[in-house]
Amino acid sequence: MTDDVRAVAVWRDGSAVRVPADEPVVTAFDTGLARGDGVFESVLVVGGRTPYLADHLARLHRSAALLDLPEVGDDVWGALVAAATDGWPADVEGACRLFLTRGLGEGAAPTCLALLAPVPAETLRQRTAGIAVVALTLGVAADVRAVSPWLLGGAKTLSYAVNMAAGRYAHSVGADDVVFTSVEGRLLEGPTSTVVWASGGTLHTPPLDTGILAGTTQARLFTCAAPDGWATAVTPGTVADLHAADAVWLLSGIRGAAPVTSLDGIARGDAGLTSRVQELLAR
């Protein structure tokens, strides 16, 4: 169907320019390419619109500040998103990726891009079919990133090679995705998602002071869940808590809520809660 539909917009000479999707827009000397020295966001496009853009821009600004990247205003990002989504088919969910890099380096103009492509069919499938997950260590202590700003805890940086490698490792052992744990066995996050579990009527998620990313989807779910009768809690859980939970999901803006159907090879259910969670997220 639409896998060939893609769009690119680049900030050039003070305005957002839509360019053909296969046109080169970044110099080979861009430090985002050489060193992963930049930040990004993945914004859901639904009905041709980006209803959660503001949450992602707030996090993009926080990430940029953590990397001492130049401040780029919401007007720039808004213009890039508008240029990329212009004419996007309303019936195709899209993933709009915003990239901010240090460009040619310290003191140079930053590179600002918006890329738009359909949400992959496999991602859409996982919302209903669920995912098999393995727990893998990230090799960091749960409290180290809170006191080590150079580790960039909480920043969504372009340095995702470890996250992608974890995903490939999961696939090599027959799983779909990963839950990272700290060296003490504390729950952290997925390589591209936030962990949420339901237990006795309470929705739980791990604390941000472990250095995980503040998930916009988890925040939205918790905001909607309270008036719907759920208690919500920030909980320093372990893999054992996930095994004991009524349901476990990996959440992200593009994926929504994917129910975990097996953890470390042990099948698990969702107590029929996934439709309620997905309904809350769709509000």
> How many whole angstroms separate alpha carbon 272 and alpha carbon 282?
17
- The minimum distance between CB 282 and ligand PLP, in angstroms, equals 14
Nearest-CA neighbor of 91 among 175, 2, 174?
2
Question: Minimum Å distance from CB 29 to ligand PLP?
Answer: 27
Tokens linked to 192: 């591209």
Report the nearest approach of ligand PLP to the CB of residue 283 (Å): 16
- The 10 Å Cβ neighbour count of residue 200 is 8
Shortest distance (Å) from residue 97 CB to ligand PLP: 10
Is the CB of 230 or the CB of 249 nearer to ligand PLP? Answer: 249
Q: Which among 5, 213, 63, 41 is positioned nearest to 114, based on CA atoms?
A: 41
User: Any contact of residue 63 with ligand PLP (CB under 6 A)?
Assistant: no
Q: Is 217 one of the binding residues for ligand PLP (CB under 6 A)?
A: yes
C-alpha 137/C-alpha 148 separation (Å) is: 19
Is there binding between residue 192 and ligand PLP (CB under 6 A)?
yes
**In this chain, which stretch among 25-33, 86-94, 191-199, 274-282 interacts with ligand PLP, using CB under 6 A?**
191-199
Q: Look at strands 7-12 and 15-19 and give their pairing.
A: antiparallel
CB atoms within 10 A of CB 211: 24
Does 216 engage in binding with ligand PLP (CB under 6 A)?
A: yes
Q: How far is the CB of 106 from ligand PLP (least distance, A)?
A: 26
Q: What is the largest CA-CA distance in the chain?
A: 55
194 binding ligand PLP? (CB under 6 A): yes
- Give the pair of three-digit tokens for residue 51: 């209803």
Beta bridge partners, 96, equal 43, 116
Choice between 52 and 104, CB closer to ligand PLP: 52
Q: Least distance in Å: CB of 194 to ligand PLP? A: 4
Q: In the range 232-261, which residues lie near ligand PLP by CB under 6 A?
A: 251-253
* Residues contacting residue 99 through CB under 8 Å, at least 6 positions apart: 32, 38, 39, 40, 111, 112, 113, 114, 115, 158
Q: Which of 213, 221, 245, 277 binds ligand PLP (CB under 6 A)?
A: 213
Stretch touching ligand PLP by CB under 6 A, among 83-91, 190-198, 229-237, 241-249: 190-198
Tokens, residue 92: 């195709």
Binding site for ligand PLP (CB under 6 A): 42, 189, 192-194, 213, 215-217, 251-253
